[in-house]
Structure 1
Amino acid sequence: MSSDFLVNTSDPNNRIFALQVKTSSALEEPRTIEKLEIERRYWLEKEIPWYLVTEKEIPVDVFRNLDWLYSLQAPDFSLEEESRFLDFFSTQLERNAALTIIDLCKQLDSVYHLELGESLYQIRALLARRYFHFDITIPYSKLRCGDLISESLDTVVEIQRVSG
């Protein structure tokens, strides 16, 4: 059991808060409600505000992006593989800033004789693991390579250690 996001802000009135994202239909399940109450109490004890967010509270594109990434929070790649992917995609994104990430990935699949969708799966996993940042309000299908900002491997490993 974990919270989806622990947010640090520069707002002096709300420096840190936790977010849990659920579909509104999930709130009909008694076990989900029990787990959410445990999570709420955990953050209350830590004196950190906790918010439950459903698709009804956030813009459609933001929800779709989160949904697209959420299933890849725990990819099956090793740290060594993620490091290689980060180096590779950082270079490719920089060289192809005007392309959408989907078009870039189609090209990479073709050039490297990968199964269609393999490159997109890899970069999606990197996005889900926070190796790249992007404006969450831009629909993932319209994200351009230049929209992605690379994070250092050390920073991502530290974030994963702290959040894990």
Structure 2
Amino acid sequence: MSSFQNIDPKDAEKLTEKRGEGIGKDYIPFFKVHELSSSGESIRIRGAKTSRIHHLLSGLEFLTFQIFDWSPNVVDIREHFPLNISETITLAESLGLNHPVSNKKLKVVTTNFLIDLEGGEKLAINVLYKKELSKKRILEKLQLEKSYWQNKGVKWFVVTEEQFSAELKENMAWIRPYADLSDHESQIVKEAQNVLFPRLQKGSSKSLMKYCGELDDSYHLKPGSHLEMLRNAVANKQLSAPLNKSFHSWKCSEIELYYPLQVPVNLNVS
């Protein structure tokens, strides 16, 4: 990216640090959690796709990230991706838009997520709560982003909280803590298809929560052992579960051997 005399000094420093460059585990996000004021929803999380720490600034970013991190056709996720400021300045002028500024200094425009798919296709994802859509400043920034990505032949989407079911939010939060495993835990997960799955099949239409408790008793294991194995197995793509249905109401018969999880959210091109 070209340097620009009137860029906000903090943004200029980030560009000097090569923020927004690199791919996979070598990518450096333009923003990091500790650098911005937070509403308490900010989180750093290790990605399954990249094996690096991702910096997420809201609960909605966290949920959106989870969905793409579990999708089998996603190969890379780059959060807080900076747009070329020389291009956004020119584009804003041509569209008659006010370029984002702070204290009369130009700000680098960022897109929440740049997603790389198998086959080379990219998706640009902007994440924000629906109430933000009524703000003129936000709408102008979105229009600028949309035009920027369209000029590059990249599909651009807006994701709000309304595109996620309450059940999906609950389930993803329930399984995500089990994604990063030690070698010992990884071995346990690998055995889930041969050990846990056949046991659950015997439960048929029984409540999964209750039946896991019965299995703990039958095999003289501490309470919660089979349920923990299940969470590990689903989180690490050994078993599949109906993620758009609350885990509290899962039946044993609904647990299946893993099949690729498609992104369970409707993306709207705006």
Normalising TM by the smaller chain, what interval? Answer: 0.5 to 0.7
| 2:219 equivalent in structure 1 | 112
Separation (CA, whole Å) in 2 of partners of 1:42 and 1:129: 21
Cα distance in structure 2, aligned partners of 1:142 and 1:75: 26
Structure number with larger C-alpha Rg: 2
TM-score by length of 2: 0.41
Q: After the TM superposition, which residues 79-94 of structure 1 pair with which residues of structure 2 at under 5 Å, given as runs?
A: 79-94=186-201
Query: 3-state DSSP class of the match of 2:171?
Result: helix
Contact map agreement 1:100 1:144 (CA 8 A) in 2: yes
Identify the match of residue 49 of structure 1 among 80, 105, 123: 123
Q: Is the 8 A contact 2:168 2:243 kept in 1?
A: yes
Do the aligned residues in 2 keep the contact of 1:64 with 1:139 (CA within 8 Å)?
yes
Residues 6-155 of structure 1 mapped to structure 2, 5 A cutoff: 23-24=59-60, 36-38=79-81, 40-41=113-114, 43=116, 47-51=121-125, 52=127, 55-76=161-182, 77-151=184-258
Match of 2:137 in 1: none
| Structure with the higher fraction of residues in strand conformation | 2
Distance 1:56 1:151 in 2: 28
Count of residue correspondences? 130
> Could you list the per-position Cα deviations for residues 77-104 of structure 1 after superposition, in whole angstroms to 9, with x for gaps in the alignment?
4544223232111111211111122112
Deviations 1:105-164 (A, max 9, x none): 101111222221111111110011111122221110110010011138xx9xxxxxxxxx
Partner amino acid, structure 2, of 1:140: F
Counterpart secondary structure, 1:68? helix
Higher helix share: 1
Q: 1:41 to 1:145 in 2, by over 3 A?
A: closer
* 1:14 equivalent in structure 2: none
Change (3 A) 1:48 1:121: same
TM (norm. structure 1) is 0.63
Q: Distance in 2 between matches of 1:41 and 1:81?
A: 34
The runs of 5 or more residues in structure 1 that have no matched partner are 6-19, 27-34, 156-164
In 1, the alpha carbon distance for the partners of 2:160 and 2:178 equals 19
Contact kept in structure 1, 2:115 and 2:124, CA below 8 Å = no
Shift of the alpha carbon at 1:41?
A: 4.5
* 2:122 match: secondary structure: coil
Q: Which has the higher contact order (CA 8 A, sep 6+)?
A: 1
SS at match of 1:120: helix
Task: Tell me how large the CA RMSD over aligned residues is.
Answer: 3.4
